[in-house]
Chain A
Amino acid sequence: MTVTSVRTPRSSPPSIALIVVAAVLAAVLLVPLGYVVSVVADVGWGTLEPLIFRPRVGELLVNTVLLVVLGVPLTVLLGVGGAWLVERTTLPGRRFWAIVLVAPLAIPAFVSSYGWASAVPSIHGLSGGLLVAVLAYYPLVYLPALATLRGLDPALEESARSLGLGSWAVFARVVLPQLRLAILGGGLIVALHLLAEYGAFAFIRFDTFTTAIVVQYQSTFAGPAAGALGVVLSVLCLTLLVGEAAARGRARYARVGSGAVRAAVPVRLGTLTAPALLALTALGAAAVGVPLASVVRWLAHGSSWSQPELPSALTQTVLLAGGGAIAAMLVALPLAWLTARHPGPLARLLEGSSYVAASLPAIIVALALVTVTLRVLPGLYQTAFTVVLAYVMIFLPRALVPLRAGIAQAPVALEEMARSLGYPPLLARLRVTVPLLVPSLAAGAALAGLGAANELTATLLLAPTGTRTLATQFWSQASAIDYPAAAPYAVALILLSVPAVALMYAQSRRWGAR
């Protein structure tokens, strides 16, 4: 079987039912964006203008923009640098370091912030926010960079070398341009995370739009001032999304030619080995060591494990996040099917709207759902359904990306073969295609579910009365400065995240090796 026959989808027109379902789902996903637009329309520009053009918004804008402008390049530097060291050099213990570098992903940013705040109590403001956020989020660049480096054909670099370029020049002029998609994509995800993060920044007194919206919400519920800040935040997110799409360009990165890619010859680090090891050790200590040491220190505090709420918080987290994971897969399935099997303007539109929806921070999604369920669908107000819906809106891309890849890789020909052997179409699909999708369904569900298990802002605003999740319990203890009581929840959150991180790591290696 050639690569072409696997990849090329049949461009038959999609069924009306598929289009209707996908369009309805995409419309539901756009509710938060609709909320932002309706705030502007409802409240009116007259009320909104003084709430937007005031010095406080200026301060928040400076903080938030600086955070992104400084934070993203730092994560790119750490992510790409780390990936290059473990993938392309003679660094001793490369496999070990490859895992150390991805480990911070298993520590939710607000747990890391708690760890740093208890180790260095004076940490605060932009520098503190940058430190915590960069350490928590650089793996989001590291993983795609690792996958890309692994898949690069060394022949290009060898040609450049034979034409007289030195090692650094080869890296800058040949390797780096090929990492463009990984850097842009990873950078975008980091930037959106920075804009959406609440807990990590609130904890160390760094004000961004998201933390200010939560404070406004706590002072006025879903009032116009919270909405006004939400409008500005949404504009920032959408600007990033459009900017990234424009910066991608139309260049093609696929390798053409026959045969398999050879393994690259590792660059000799020589005298740079010691500094490189030192840098990686420092990074690992700061990103993983400090938060874990703090958690362990508070656990040793004795009273820490007498948390009667822990088992019920664990159950409720698993139920809500599990519901979120299943629902996200069910929503992703028709959207992914449409884009993978029936590509065209319609598919692009629907897919685009799902990414626009997911780029809005959890706080906006939560404000939108509070408002909509309260005013339009009171039956859904403060129900687990609404929490699950919020999780779908926030974490859909995590489900969509692996699923779409899975569908694209499932050969249509196999299904057709089954039908030619007498299976009815539905049975053919269930027996042949669905089993092929199991790994990508599982991957997507795990990633979405683990995102949901760590979710704080939307859960705080939307959860049914009496519901406590690990994240909300952690937050309530940690913000009351009861550090020992928060520690067991931190451990549970970290342990729950480990499988998803292992999965992401395995995936990045597999994609790279493809």
Chain B
Amino acid sequence: MKIEVLFPEVANLNGDLSNIDYLKKCLNDDVEIIETSLNDKPAFATQKDINLMYMGSMSEKAQEIVIEKLKPYVDKLDELEFEKKVFLMTGNALEILGKFIENEDESKIRAVGLYHFYAQRDMMHRYSGYYLGKHNDIDIVGFKAQFSKLYGNNDECYFAKTKLGIGINDDTDCEGLQKGNFIGVDLLGPFLIMNPLFTKELLGLMGVKEPKLAFEEEVIAAYNERLDKFKKMAAKQKKKKKR
């Protein structure tokens, strides 16, 4: 089993790398972690047996560096998506694969261009919120804290349908993106630890035959408590909207 972590020296905000630590524990350490730094050629470009590529949250300046590093691999990424390879992106990592990122002054940073959507930054207005949504039959819980939001239609390729909080922006309840097994969410931090049911699904996508969770009982207990709380908050939010 191989996991490639892209650019951990910059894509390491918000405890996002704990997702990899958790997968490692779920796999009983029987996994090779390849940490690709900004000066390395990504392993996904040459190695065919990578089970998961992962990229976490980063600063806005880091996004711009990472875009330049990934631009030459846009065709390769396209090919990997077609081959149903698994790529998980959390926080603002997904923005890198879009068309462009727009600053407040309307200047644009051309992004990798794998996808049609784009991001808009608003550095003096940070959005923070709780999230509850449905991915297939799985309830997804999480947190958002971001300067930027994604725009562009993801009705046909969203990751989860939102019940609490917002989708990729204020006007949609479609959160994140899933194309093949390329999955990107705005949710940040210990996403996999907080969503054990999805983690099982992800391990399955990675090729684990009988996925097992580390600390299953404890992780599920924390998940259930949060789910219960967020469901109540979602019900309140729904009531308010009706009024």
- Report whether chain A binds chain B: no
Chain B contacts to A: CB under 8 angstroms: none
